[in-house]
Amino acid sequence: MAVVEQSQPQSVLAPSPKKQQISQSYWSLVWWKFKRNRVAVLGGALLLLSYITFVLIPEFVAPYGLQHTSAYVEAPPTKLHFVDAQGKFHLQPFVYGMEQKLDFKTRSRTYVEDTTKIYPVGLFVKGDAYKLFGLIPMDRHLYGVDQVANPDSIVLLMGSDALGRDWFTRVLYGGRLSLVIGLIGQILTLFFGMVLGVMSGFYGGTTDQVIQRTTEFISAIPNIPLFMALASAIPGYWPPLTVYFMLTIILSFVNWGGLARQVRGMILSLREREYVLAAQSAGASNSRLMFRHLLPGTMSHVIVIATLAIPSMILAETALSWLGLGIRPPLTSWGTLLQDAATVRAIHNTPWELWTVPFILLTILAYNMLGDGLRDALDPYAR
């Protein structure tokens, strides 16, 4: 009992610094609620991981360069071994050398492992030279077989394509374009949608009419034909990278309408709040009222819409490229990879080319998990 009585006055005299905060700020409440949602945290972590591996450092993660072709054409995934033919256990995993055999009857290639050749697979091995972040010259790769010591060797975790390129390497590089197009496209959509939406809601009248009717007009045209029409308007002689950026702009051009409408609806209710009047009476101009006082009020909503809309951007890119209207070789995106795998012959002979699909699925799933979690978290008072 004496201990309890002693500790009580102490806690009153010296409250912990955290307890001095009277109430928590909005964002700390959001973070607190978001953290408790395991699925959303998982989605966020997956996305973070995929953006780091696919967008920032695919050169490092991939065992080969994007243009690294080999004699191993349409080879199935190589197996990693720990135990060799003699039954000896190796601590470091290794691959066997591969021998190509042509079956002249069926006109198909088969590969058999040559158990006499053992190539250890290591981490941080030397390979094709590249520049990390486009700046730092490097030649180390996350994993692989030392290409200087064993130039004959190859490790193909997901098989290879018709030019003998490592499919996993291609998936990594393809992810860069597909993920970035979703992000840039969404940023452009946000920009158009928010600016036009806030103007539409704030000014009303003619401005509102023009913007809303334009939105309706664009959304009345079926998406795929509109994409196709716009994409075919891009001249064929343009360099693939320019085509890529045009595609981004096209995707956001079609998508801004929905966001503009939602922002407009929110602005219509927010502009009647007294704080708008108060800011105006303090001398704030119309643009200040719109972008400093009204727009922040819509942010929690906009963030959720944006997160949930990025997957559709990625899918739209994939679909367009798959149709052959979007990104074209030599650029590699998940869409062009799917296009490679989209023939009956490919599915029969090289089914490992479908490895692209789980990556797309997982990314879309992660975005949806994150978006759902954000939607719940951004309304911290809702139960």
Partner 1 sequence: MNELPSEPLVEVKDLRVEFDVRAGIVKAVDGLNMTIHRGKTLGVIGESGCGKSMTARAILNMIPKPGKITNGKILYHRRVQNNGHGQLDDNVELTQLDPDGKIIREIRGGEIGMIFQEPMSSLTPVYTAGTHINEAVSLHHLTPVRKVGDQLAEQVMAHKAVTKEEAREIAIAMLRRVGIPKPTERVDNYPHQLSGGQRQRVMIAIALSCEPAMLIADEPTTALDVSIEAQILDIMRELQNSVNMAIMFITHNLGVIASMAEEIVVMYMGKAVEQAKVVELFKDAKHPYTQALLRSIPKLGEKKEGNRLASISGMTPDPFNLPTGCVFHPRCPMFMPGKCDKIKPKWTKVGEDHWVSCLLYEEV
Q: Per CB under 8 A, does 26 bind partner 1? A: yes
Nearer Cβ to partner 1 (48/278):
278
Q: Per CB under 8 A, does 22 bind partner 1? A: yes
Q: Per CB under 8 A, does 13 bind partner 1? A: no
**CB of residue 273 to partner 1, shortest distance in Å:** 6
Site string for partner 1, 151-190 (x = CB under 8 A): ----------------------------------------
Helix, strand, coil shares, percent, the chain, to 5: 60, 15, 25
User: Which of 70, 207, 280, 349 contacts partner 1 by CB under 8 A?
Assistant: 280
Site string for partner 1, 102-121 (x = CB under 8 A): --------------------
Q: Per CB under 8 A, does 191 bind partner 1? A: no
- Of residues 286 through 315, those in contact with partner 1 by CB under 8 A are 286, 288, 292-293, 296-297, 299
- Of residues 249 through 278, those in contact with partner 1 by CB under 8 A are 273-275, 277-278
Q: Per CB under 8 A, does 19 bind partner 1? A: no
Nearer Cβ to partner 1 (112/278):
278
Nearer Cβ to partner 1 (64/202):
202
Nearer Cβ to partner 1 (33/176):
33
**CB of residue 349 to partner 1, shortest distance in Å:** 58
Q: Which residue has the tokens 């597909």?
A: 178
Q: Per CB under 8 A, does 281 bind partner 1? A: yes
Nearer Cβ to partner 1 (236/283):
283
- Print the SS3 string covering the chain: CHHHHHHHHHHHHCCCHHHHCCCCCHHHHHHHHHHHCHHHHHHHHHHHHHHHHHHHCHHHHCCCCCCCCCCCCCCCCCCCEEECCCCCEEEEEEEEEEEEEEECCCCEEEEEEEEEEEEEEEEEEEEEEEEECCCEEEEEEEEEECCCCCCCCCCCCCCECCCCCEHHHHHHHHHHHHHHHHHHHHHHHHHHHHHHHHHHHHHCHHHHHHHHHHHHHHHHCCHHHHHHHHHHCCCCCCCHHHHHHHHHHHHHHHHHHHHHHHHHHHHHHHCCCHHHHHHHHCCCCHHHHHHHHHHHHHHHHHHHHHHHHHHHHHHHHHHHHHCCCCCCCCCCCHHHHHHHCCCHHHHHHCHHHHHHHHHHHHHHHHHHHHHHHHHHHCCCCCC
Tokens representing 74 are 């349409």
Q: Per CB under 8 A, does 71 bind partner 1? A: no
Nearer Cβ to partner 1 (13/282):
282
Number of residues that bind partner 1 (CB under 8 A): 24
- Of residues 192 through 211, those in contact with partner 1 by CB under 8 A are 204
Q: Per CB under 8 A, does 23 bind partner 1? A: yes
Q: Per CB under 8 A, does 232 bind partner 1? A: no
Nearer Cβ to partner 1 (199/313):
199
Nearer Cβ to partner 1 (198/247):
198
Whether 335 contacts 319, CB under 8 Å: yes
Binding site for partner 1 (CB under 8 A): 22-23, 25-26, 204, 273-275, 277-286, 288, 292-293, 296-297, 299
